[in-house]
Amino acid sequence: MSYVKGLKCRECGRSYPKEALFVCEWCFGPLEVAYDYEAIKKNFSKKLLETRVPNMWRYKELLSIDGEPLCGSTSGFTPLFEAKNLARSLGIKKCYIKDDSVNHPTLSFKDRVVAVALSKAKEFGFRTVACASTGNLANAVAAHSRYSGFDCYVFVPFDLETSKILSSLIYGVNLVAVEGNYDEVNRLCAEIAMNFHWAFVNVNLRPYYAEGSKTYGFEIAEQLGFRSPQNIVIPAASGSLVTKIYKGFEEFSQLGLIPEFKTRFFLAQAEGCAPIVKAFRENSNIIKPVKPKTIAKSIAIGNPADGVYALEIAKKTKGFAEAVSDEEIIEGIKLLAETEGVFTETAGGATVAVTKKLLENGILAKEEEVVICITGNGLKTQESVQNHLKPVIRIKPSLEEFKRELKGGV
């Protein structure tokens, strides 16, 4: 039973059939999946959720597939926990971490989008899956493609972190390192998609793929006891995650699962790649592409596909878009690790650092609550922090030597 009616243009509203399409041929607007909410309302409830196992497919009525899921049975339902030490350190009343640094199997929120995209790719009859990626997406496409039996090509910028490269190669897939930045990789992939009958998860399957990010928002609402938070801070690269968390809260509200939501959305970017923040600061609706230069490579997208929509959400929810320097990102990674024992990657460092900055500037209210979105794992971006940590204490296996070190003030 599928509740997917078809695709709909976000700009002009024209309808399209359920095919591997992603752009409106009339106005070039992006296509989005449209659902039959009346029918979903009759069949989807909190009671039904109680019977479901804790993975991302517990919300399958609100996801963009027609049949049963192909993969992702271990993805999603990651911890949402109250971060008391971090809250104390930041001086905010209540702070929650939604922790996709431990999402299964590839340690980022991208396992969610890929599980949906590959399930859809199978329905469409594709044999080969591919993606343009800043690293995490490639890891997820690589892992899920093996499990699901697809041939796989992942395209990334050549200068990614070692672990992001290795975490794709380990699956035995074809990794193409393009001598350019993400935006150049993406442009190349759009061209390849027109020449090869491949499912590029974030190009020709983008409308279906992006829906997977809604599960991150559904889970936050469910784990808070079926309500949306007062404030949420989200890292933004293409801006898709921001728009889909918003759509997730909107759908839950429309279905009566949560009260009308008033969450304020705060976007986090790195100063070295902050096209959305720049438009926000200039009070402009136009996002001018930038050339990325930051250690936060996973969110280094200079020409964000969903940037205008993410920007619109920050504005209409009375949120904000803010950026931080690479130094602040490193401090953000360390702060989360030292307070909560969570090792996040650079995107998470940016999110924590932006939260801190917004609190210091009085933009986020200290007497309110905030959910901080941690979307990836620090083991994949070790280069960013390796020269910013305490030195290792190296000793001979001798008690005397250890005591000497201790006296030395270690």
Ligand X SMILES: Cc1ncc(COP(=O)(O)O)c(C=O)c1O
β partners of residue 270: 273, 324
Q: Among residues 13 and 54, whose Cβ is nearest to Zn ion?
A: 13
191 binds, among Zn ion, ligand X, none (CB under 5 to 8 A by kind): none
**Shortest Cβ 185–ligand X spacing (Å):** 12
- Smallest gap from Cβ 29 to ligand X, in A, equals 18
Which of Zn ion, ligand X, none has residue 136 at its interface (CB below 5 to 8 Å by kind)?
ligand X
Give contact residues for ligand X (rule: CB under 6 A): 108, 134, 136-137, 235-241, 298-299, 345, 347, 375-376
Please provide the distance, in angstroms rounded to a whole number, between the alpha carbons at the two ends of the chain: 63
Nearest residue to the partner ligand X, using Cβ? 376
| Residues 283, 321 contacting (CB under 8 angstroms) | no
Least spacing, CB of residue 27 vs Zn ion, in Å: 3
Closer residue to Zn ion, CB minimum distance, 9 or 257: 9
Distance CA 43, CA 162 (A): 46
Taking CB under 5 A as the criterion, which residues in 122-141 touch Zn ion?
none
- The CA distances from residue 383 to 274, 351, 379, 380, 388, in Å, are 22, 18, 9, 9, 10
Closest CA to 215 of 42, 49, 81, 348: 49
Judged by CB under 5 A, the number of residues near Zn ion is 8
Smallest gap from Cβ 58 to ligand X, in A, equals 21
108 binds, among ligand X, Zn ion, none (CB under 5 to 8 A by kind): ligand X
Q: How far is the CB of 299 from Zn ion (least distance, A)?
A: 28
CB atoms within 10 A of CB 169: 14
Name the DSSP letter for residue 71. S
C-beta of 17: minimal distance to ligand X in Å? 26
275 three-class SS:
helix
Identify the bridge partners of residue 370 per DSSP, sorted by sequence position: 95, 231
Nearer to ligand X, 306 or 340 (CB): 306
Q: Least distance from C-beta 367 to ligand X, angstroms?
A: 28
Which among Zn ion, ligand X, none contacts residue 299 (Cβ within 5 to 8 A by kind)?
Answer: ligand X
Q: Work out what residue 9 binds among Zn ion, ligand X, none; the CB cut-off runs from 5 to 8 Å by kind.
A: Zn ion
Query: Residues 6 or more apart from 205 whose CB is under 8 A from it?
Result: 20, 22, 117, 120, 121, 124, 199
Look at phi and psi of residue 226 and say left if phi exceeds 0, alpha if psi is from -120 to 50, else beta: left
298's contact among Zn ion, ligand X, none, with CB below 5 to 8 A by partner kind, is ligand X
Give the nearer residue to ligand X in terms of CB position, either 88 or 291: 291
Q: Choose the one of ligand X, Zn ion, none that binds residue 11, judging by a C-beta under 5 to 8 angstroms depending on kind.
A: Zn ion
Q: Which is nearer to ligand X, 112 or 264 (CB)?
A: 112
Smaller CB separation from Zn ion, 13 or 259: 13
| Residue 24 near which of ligand X, Zn ion, none (CB within 5-8 Å, type-dependent) | Zn ion
**What is the Cα–Cα distance from 79 to 75, expressed in whole angstroms?**
12
Contact window for Zn ion (CB under 5 A) among 1-9, 36-44, 130-138, 154-162: 1-9
Amino acid at 147: Y
Preceding amide of 79 cis, omega within 30:
no
Nearer to ligand X, 221 or 270 (CB): 270
Please report how many Cα atoms fall inside a 13 Å half-sphere around the Cα of residue 7, on the Cβ side. Answer: 24
Nearer to Zn ion, 9 or 232 (CB): 9
Query: What are the C-alpha distances in Å from 246 to residues 6, 141, 266, 385, 393?
Result: 20, 24, 11, 32, 47
Smallest gap from Cβ 106 to ligand X, in A, equals: 10
Cα distance between residue 285 and residue 279, in whole Å: 7
Choice between 106 and 257, CB closer to ligand X: 106
Instruction: Read off the DSSP letter of residue 186.
Output: H
Name the residue nearer to ligand X (CB basis): 44 or 207.
207
Cβ 26 to Zn ion shortest distance, Å: 5
| CB of residue 109 to ligand X, shortest distance in Å | 6
Residue 71: what are its φ and ψ, rounded to 5°?
Answer: -150, 175
Give the three-class secondary structure for 108. Answer: strand
Tell me if 375 sits within 8 A of 254, measured CB to CB. no
Binding mask 5-44 for Zn ion (x = CB under 5 A): ----x-xx-x---------x-xx-x---------------
Phi/psi at 188 (5° precision): -60, -45
| Site residues for Zn ion per CB under 5 A | 9, 11-12, 14, 24, 26-27, 29
